[in-house]
Chain A
Amino acid sequence: MFFVRALTLAVIALNVSGNFFLDLGMRSEGEIVSFSPLDYLKVFGNFWIILGVCLLAGWLVCQLSLLSWADLTYVLPVTSASYILLAVLGVVSLKEHVSAAHWGGIGLIVLGVIVVGRTRPRTAPGDHDEVP
């Protein structure tokens, strides 16, 4: 169980930091709404976007590893704890406005994380190993 919890924390931390730096980089790049991949490749010269992408690559490895131990219906709600950290980062660093409805939504997400976090991580068939 400790291993699953440690992986969950790594998934949350890498997701939050990756998306934060991605947002920081995109703010200096202006609007991009295009079907051409070339328009998106241009933004990869931005240091913050490269850092965000590297952190999100680490997130992908940790997320896949966590899925090898736990159900999708366990992983998704539990790792949604990243929303509360994103909201706090948005307020503190990016000066985004977070309304009362937003904080209410974050409260519901936290409750969902707590409820699902108390369940057994793996229920799917075809898995005979014990979760450490």
Chain B
Amino acid sequence: MKWLLVLVIIVCNTCGDLLDAFGMRQHGHVRDFHPSALRRLLRSLAHNRYVIGGIVFMAIAFFALLSLLSIAPLSFAIPATAGSYILETILAKFVLKEDIHWQRWLGAFLVAGGVAMLSLR
């Protein structure tokens, strides 16, 4: 059951991150963190369908994480859910058109390798 929850979390995190990244690129830079500016930001994001879609996927991932935390320790749960690094790097290149040079690939593989080692008992 815990690996099924890990799969749900990976898929939903990937979709959520891609939609959020696309939505925030459309939104433009966030420069101001005063309370009134944050209220304006939240109102603006509430009308951004990509960010809303991303948050829905992240909410599903969050509830799956709650389930996972109830049956597995934190040191398994959090790292195991990060297996999406390579998938997100590939999708960021083709969907978000990011310029992914060798340092980014190396970084993604190092983090994914580290995550795989974290899953070892």
**Residues on A close to B: CB < 8 A?**
19-20, 22-23, 26, 29-34, 37, 40, 43, 56, 60-61, 63-65, 67-69, 71-77, 80, 83, 86-87, 90, 94, 96-99, 101-102, 104-113, 115-116, 118-119, 123-127, 129
**A115 B20 Cβ-Cβ under 8 A:** no
**B71 A112 Cβ-Cβ under 8 A:** no
Q: Residue B110 contacts which of A19, A109, A129 (CB distance < 8 angstroms)?
A: A109
**Those 3 A-B pairs whose CB atoms lie nearest each other, nearest first:** A105-B117, A112-B110, A108-B114
Q: Decide yes or no: A72 and B74 within 8 Å by CB, A115-B110, A116-B104 being known contacts.
A: no
Main secondary structure of the interface of B (DSSP, over half): helix
Query: With A and B bound together, what is the CA distance between A104 and B109 in angstroms?
Result: 14
Which chain B residues numbered 50 to 97 have a C-beta less than 8 Å away from chain A?
51, 55, 58, 62-63, 66-67, 69-71, 73-75, 77-79, 82, 85, 88-89, 92-93, 96-97
Determine how close the nearest CB of chain B comes to the CB of A53; give it in whole angstroms: 9
Q: State how many residues of chain B have any CB contact under 8 Å with chain A.
A: 61
Q: Decide yes or no: A104 and B117 within 8 Å by CB, A33-B1, A119-B103 being known contacts.
A: yes
Q: Residue B98 contacts which of A72, A77, A98 (CB distance < 8 angstroms)?
A: A72
17 examples of A-B residue contacts, CB within 8 angstroms: A30-B70, A32-B70, A37-B63, A60-B58, A64-B20, A64-B24, A71-B96, A72-B18, A75-B21, A76-B89, A77-B107, A83-B79, A102-B118, A115-B106, A115-B110, A126-B25, A129-B29
Answer yes or no: B100 CB below 8 A from chain A CBs: yes
Q: Which residues from chain B contact A30 at a C-beta distance below 8 Å?
A: 70
**A109 B74 Cβ-Cβ under 8 A:** no
**B121 A99 Cβ-Cβ under 8 A:** yes
Determine how close the nearest CB of chain B comes to the CB of A11; give it in whole angstroms: 13
Q: Can you name the residue of chain A whose Cβ is closest to the Cβ of B120?
A: A101
